[in-house]
């Protein structure tokens, strides 16, 4: 809790690179402005990059900081794009903002010296895209468009309780066949959320079956798998949402 409070203070008052002494995040840099802004959170040494996409209406990292700090503790640099503002509300606008923010953030990380933020290397490490809610839908679009945007294809994409499904009028390109996909939906989530997950699953129907999983998160003692479940800091919620992401990161890094 103390680490989360300290990190929140740093994010709130320091848009440029700063240290968070009580956190595993040793450098925070804000790049860009408005919808194109992204926070880059660097650990002591980066073995992977995680692009973390927030839920609708929650465009700053505070509510996710414990999770982001844990990713940093496991040697992942984290990119947290804002992408949503009063002037960036449509899927087309948000995807344009994500293209600018993620491209800039990944190039920023690739340009750091080997000992940037106390460790490295950062260039050439695997990229994982994860999103929750609206961010979960956008995560698939970001992963599918990465090569078109001049970025490396993510090694994995994790879509947690997505809503909505595919955006009308916006094609969802094929993912790189090597990209691993984990799509999670809760048994206590809304019908519209379940329909969204089914629609996205249909959208990746041609992706290799060995590279994708649709997981229904079941409610159990200590966990009600409704839409807010991924944000809870209980042990059952961490086991249900943090642990599968950790395992995928571990796998794509080769240990």
Tens-digit pLDDT profile for residues 89-122 = 999 999 999 999 999 999 888 876 544 455 555 7
CB 150: neighbour CB atoms within 10 A?
Answer: 10
The model's pTM:
0.89
Tens-digit pLDDT profile for residues 37-71 = 999 988 877 889 999 999 999 998 988 999 999 99
Cis peptide before 11 (omega within 30 of 0): no
Record the tokens describing residue 3, joined without a space.
Answer: 């680490």
Burial of 12 (0-12, 13-18, 19+ CB in 10 A): exposed
Give CA–CA dist 85/89, Å, rounded. 6
Q: 2-253: CATH homologous superfamily?
A: Alpha/Beta hydrolase fold, catalytic domain (3.40.50.1820)
Tens-digit pLDDT profile for residues 157-171 = 999 999 999 999 999
Q: Where are the domains of the chain?
A: 2-253
Query: What does the pLDDT read at residue 224?
Result: 97
For the chain, give the percent of residues with pLDDT over 70: 87
First-to-last C-alpha distance (Å) of the chain: 29
Query: What does the pLDDT read at residue 232?
Result: 95
Backbone angles phi, psi at 112, to 5 degrees: -75, 150
Averaged pLDDT, 19-36: 76
In this structure, are strands 212-217 and 180-186 parallel, antiparallel, or unpaired?
A: parallel
Q: pLDDT category, 212, cuts 50, 70, 90?
A: very high
For the chain, give the percent of residues with pLDDT over 90: 74
Query: What does the pLDDT read at residue 91?
Result: 95
Task: Count how many residues are written for the chain.
Answer: 255
244 close to 213: Cβ distance less than 8 angstroms: no
């Amino acid at each position: 809790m103390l680490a989360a409070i300290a990190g929140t203070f740093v994010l709130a008052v320091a848009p440029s690179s700063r240290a968070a002494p009580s956190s595993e995040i040793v450098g925070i840099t804000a790049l860009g402005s408005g919808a194109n802004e992204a926070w880059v959170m660097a650990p002591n040494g980066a073995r992977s990059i995680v692009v973390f996409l927030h839920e609708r209406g929650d465009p700053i990292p505070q509510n996710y900081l414990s999770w982001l700090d844990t990713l940093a503790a496991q040697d992942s640099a984290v990119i947290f794009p804002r992408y949503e503002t009063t002037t960036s509300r449509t899927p087309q606008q948000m995807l344009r903002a994500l293209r600018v923010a993620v491209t800039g953030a990944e190039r920023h990380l690739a340009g750091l010296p080997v000992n940037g933020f106390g460790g490295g290397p950062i260039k050439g490490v695997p990229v994982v895209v994860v999103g929750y809610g609206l961010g979960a839908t956008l995560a698939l679009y970001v992963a599918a468009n990465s090569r078109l945007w001049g970025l490396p294809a993510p090694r994995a994409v994790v879509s947690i309780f997505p809503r909505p499904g595919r955006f009308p009028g916006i094609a969802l390109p094929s993912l790189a066949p090597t990209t691993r996909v984990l799509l999670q939906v809760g048994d206590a989530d809304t019908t519209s959320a379940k329909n969204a997950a089914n629609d996205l699953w249909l959208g990746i129907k041609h992706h290799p079956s060995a590279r994708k999983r649709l997981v229904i998160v079941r409610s159990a003692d200590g966990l009600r798998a409704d839409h807010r479940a991924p944000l809870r800091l209980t042990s059952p919620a961490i086991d249900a949402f943090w642990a599968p992401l950790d395992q995928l990161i571990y796998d794509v890094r080769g240990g």
